[in-house]
Structure 1
Amino acid sequence: MSPLDHSHALSLIPAASLNTWYDPQLESFSGLSAAPAMKLADRVARGHEPVLGELLGDYELERLVGAGSMGQVFAARSRATGERVALKVLRPDHGRALLRLEQEFRALESVEHPNFVKPRELVMPAEGEAFFTMELIDGVPFVEYVRQQTRAGQLPNQLRLRRALRQLLAALEHLHQRGYVHRDLKPSNVLVTPSGRVVVLDLGLVCDADAGDPIERGLVGTPAYMAPEQARQGQTGPAADLYAVGVMLYECLCGAWPFMGAAQDILAAKVEDHAPDPALRTSQADADLLELCRTMLAGDPEQRGTASQALARLASPARLAPVRSFLRGRARADGRAGLSPWTSWTYPWGARSRALAALSWPALSWPACMRARARRQSGDPRRAPPTGDKGSGGATWVERDGPRPSRSDRRAWPRRHTRAGRR
């Protein structure tokens, strides 16, 4: 609706929850956000906080990686082994910090998966700071990896998007099968390494899919990626994680969030309105990606399906039929011409540049040329001189190593005999 009427929507979101949980600098409710170390230094909470160079157990803190309303993450080095790890410590003034810290570590242990950060060690000393260590990920946020240098209003590389999205959905499928809900999925909590590995981080707000969260009550998460049921503070299930992935997919395709504005405006719009159709901003995107984005951004959690269903839709042969027809040279529904069959093997490069497809043919024909050259040098020419009069139109077989072969022999050993005649 435009202009947005917040009167009813905001009545569903208690103001006390907004004031208690929301940090306008972090754009997050009780979540961990990655940010440059110099900016994060200004956000350190009151009381005792770890400082760079300090020793926590056997680990020396090297640099600040991320911070939020619940805690901080440092890059640290083990003095015993020299291994560099990520070390997470919760703020001492955060209520039930030890319970939250232990719950996150146990969740990481139980959801062991290639697309989740690997936990290392949980340290809870009798005196001093409790913390746990995990794999230190060198990567960039999900949306930044997908879009890279793509300009606003243009589509990113959709093959790169598909590869990353499949890994993210596989991680969510595994998490939900273990009975957990992440509740704070966003690009800064999903990093992609230079090798293309997608890694889900920060299970600080993870909760049981059936029992809910016994530790934290109220509004938790990041407004831009919250599902409508999270904004209403209702029961949060696996569908809420799919909604967050839908927002990330929308952001990858369109370069913007589906709902813009301040946190309270975004939450009110999600409660009262439907997410905009991504095709309105990027109609040239693949049809299956657009449909998947619409499905995951559905206001009704039941209509979003599951992570397993999203994975199946992403790789569904039926949804790839328009692409295959395009490769076969058939006309598309929007009137654009398809690729000719000789360029289909080069998709998507052929779709982007037919010149590149044409230049790739010498690479395919080179082995055949080399074999022909070797035959000529070995004295095994393909043709023998014709036996009939020139122009007679006759065609006879010239025997080389024996009598004229049968039809099956000619198919099996074409190099032993050659057909001569019309040139």
Structure 2
Amino acid sequence: MNNTFKSNRWALLPIILFLILYLTSSLVSGDFYKMPLIISFLVAAFCAIAMNRKRSIEEKIESFVKGMGDKNIMMMVFIFLLAGCFAATAKAVGAVDATVNVGLHFLPPNIMLAGVFIISCFIALSVGTSLGTILALAPMAVSLSEKGGIAIALALGAIVGGAMFGDNLSLISDTTIAASRTQGCRMKDKFRMNFKIVVPAAIISIIIYACCNVTSEIAPTTFTFKQLGLVLPYLFVLVSALAGMNVIFVLLLGTVFAGVMGLAYGKLDIWLWLKTMSDGALGMSEIIIISMIVGGIVEIIRINGGIEFLLETIGKRANGKKGAELGIALLVSLVNVFTANNTIAIIMSGPIVKDIASAYDISPKRAASIMDTFSCFVQGLLPYGAQILAAVTLVGLERVTPLDLMQYLYYPYLMGASALLSILFQWPVEKRS
């Protein structure tokens, strides 16, 4: 970290401009997804380049491009591409549907709601996307409500809660990739730290859902033993990543594994597999472009003294390591409220958080874990967030509204409480080498 830059609050103007532009357009249009994120970031980028008259336009553009091409950004881009290939291949071969059917087949009816939460956790943990998990499982909430005699919002809350658990912990989710790469830690280490913080919230959630009465069996599933094979790619990715295999090889081998299973089961042919991988990689284009633009903006903000200003501001109020961690949590939470996107919040906050963590002796894995957990906590409760909007839209707004759903989002509330307690009591205790 370069500490020679003079503190300058005005250097943060590009980020403030982005937040104002994005929030204002969203409120005016009544749609938080009306304003394209890329356009908002491009406006902020040109604002950053226009600042600091002491430097020539060529120098500022060169700094911007240097930030775009930062090694951590480029590694993140590569991982995003591979994650897209794996997720698309696994979905194409029917791994999501197979996982749901296997879970529902073996779950006792009296704990069906808790089981749905666990299934949602596992799928999101495996596919690395809360939104994709909700899109796949939301129709199940309707069946669970009709056959189990429980409120549809409660069933949907179990699905959304499980999806946020998996997204927060998944080794191939956008949030984990962004948090780990911006803080310079291994995803495996971030997972272990994260797991210790949120597992109490997950256990309490399971107990709550298990206590909810389900009056009759859910509609029978089309389970066959062949479907067990389609679950194996997810298990391979999960186990191999936790075992310490490099994430690049985990995703590469996981994609090959899923593709081979698809060929063997007749779900894919070689050309469809290649197209599926291509579509999956291209599906990550927006987050890749945004990551690079944000990298350029942050580099100019750093040169102009914005990072130093934040460090000084937080330093005056931090009052030690605990205060710094609370500052990190507040920073990523506020950005998430304005952007309604937890991955973007982490990418924007990541470089600043890394400097704060370095100044206050916070380990990279803990900083990454705090960022990811609080961003997922906020994202899981935003009534205008993609997760809640997708859930209520799929089952029908005439059946459940975002506010109806929010009262049953037990896990996100408990996750936020667990994360806050982990900071206040400095738990889990880290081993010093």
Shared fold by TM > 0.5? Answer: no
